[in-house]
Amino acid sequence: MTYETITVEQRPEPHGAVTLITLNRPQALNALNSQVLEDLIAAFAAFEADDGQRCAVLTGSGDKAFAAGADIKEMADKPAADFYLDDFFARWTSHLVKATRKPWIAAVNGFALGGGCELAMMADFIIASDKAKFGQPEIKLGVAPGMGGSQRLTRAVGKAKAMEMCLTGRMMDAAEAERSGLVARVVPHESLLDEALKTAATIAAMPPMAAIANKEMVNAAFETTLDQGLVVERRIFQILAGSEDKAEGMAAFVEKREGRWKGR
């Protein structure tokens, strides 16, 4: 499959079972237009459907930006009724978050602003270059986050910082983003992709059903009460306890060898 605005690469060994998706509009700092959305939906659906692919990495091309936001030029003249009637921005979450059960990582290589920050926060976690900058500057355009920024940023960094960032549009650098819990890890700019792919390969080598299950459990913490989340955790644990990979994982431990996963 060929794409207009992204590139997709399935990584060979030793990065086995990892799909690398790269936003590829460097001339517009990888701004997210409607074609990017269509391309990402197709790429994530292909990743999800391919049993040979177990973890994905999303990054931006060029040295400057992961994505500098939704494409302002494309949206500037769009009538409000179209935003409402199309439930504009809803498909980002429904396809990249809800329909993608396999884990994926955002490797943020520069500016992640507005929709770019929101896209990074849709990932299961973010690994950031030491040059990364995060922000929700929509207020400066007379609007506000529309792809989850007010909700996911607040859950990640808490009300004080999220409110300050949304109200002032100020950017957070990588060190502050790590301190605040927005990113899992900051790495030197030059080694970002290597580190992200290495981490993805580690995840891809895990028992695949357990990887999906771990992701589902952690995500439940954001959507339920503690009691309900604990029930979700126990039920998923109980399902895993009957899996072939659980029997294999425990046998491999006892026999001091690597597990050979069936994904069931």
Contact region with ligand CO8 (CB under 6 A), list: 4-12, 46-54, 62-70, 248-256: 62-70
Is residue 72 involved in binding ligand CO8 (CB under 6 A)?
yes
C-alpha span between 145 and 166 (Å, rounded): 8
Is residue 249 involved in binding ligand CO8 (CB under 6 A)?
no
Place of tokens 């590139």: 7
Of 137 and 249, CB closest to ligand CO8: 137
Is residue 114 involved in binding ligand CO8 (CB under 6 A)?
yes
Three-class DSSP category at 152: helix
Of 97 and 171, CB closest to ligand CO8: 171
C-alpha span between 257 and 262 (Å, rounded): 16
Smallest separation (angstroms) from ligand CO8 to the CB of 234: 39
* 226-241 helix and 208-220 helix, angle to the nearest 10 degrees: 170
Please, are residues 244 and 230 in contact by the beta-carbon 8 Å criterion?
A: no
> Which residues are known to be catalytic?
70, 115, 118, 138
Is residue 28 involved in binding ligand CO8 (CB under 6 A)?
yes
When binding is defined by CB under 6 A, the residue of 23, 68, 96, 196 that contacts ligand CO8 is 68
Is residue 111 involved in binding ligand CO8 (CB under 6 A)?
yes
Residue 182: phi and psi, rounded to 5, are: -75, -35
C-alpha span between 52 and 13 (Å, rounded): 12
Is residue 69 involved in binding ligand CO8 (CB under 6 A)?
yes
Is residue 70 involved in binding ligand CO8 (CB under 6 A)?
yes
When binding is defined by CB under 6 A, the residue of 103, 137, 148, 208 that contacts ligand CO8 is 137
Whether the upstream peptide bond of residue 12 has omega within 30° of 0, thus cis, is no
When binding is defined by CB under 6 A, the residue of 115, 148, 207, 208 that contacts ligand CO8 is 115
C-alpha span between 131 and 59 (Å, rounded): 14
As beta bridge partners, residue 106 has 58, 126
Of 11 and 131, CB closest to ligand CO8: 131
Strands, DSSP E only, in 122-200?
Answer: 125-129, 133-135, 172-173, 185-187
Is residue 29 involved in binding ligand CO8 (CB under 6 A)?
yes
C-alpha span between 158 and 181 (Å, rounded): 9
Smallest separation (angstroms) from ligand CO8 to the CB of 182: 17
Is residue 92 involved in binding ligand CO8 (CB under 6 A)?
no
Please, are residues 113 and 134 in contact by the beta-carbon 8 Å criterion?
A: yes
When binding is defined by CB under 6 A, the residue of 41, 42, 139, 143 that contacts ligand CO8 is 143
As beta bridge partners, residue 32 has 70
When binding is defined by CB under 6 A, the residue of 6, 37, 57, 113 that contacts ligand CO8 is 113
What are the residues binding ligand CO8 (CB under 6 A)?
28-29, 31, 68-73, 75-76, 111, 113-115, 137-138, 141, 143, 146
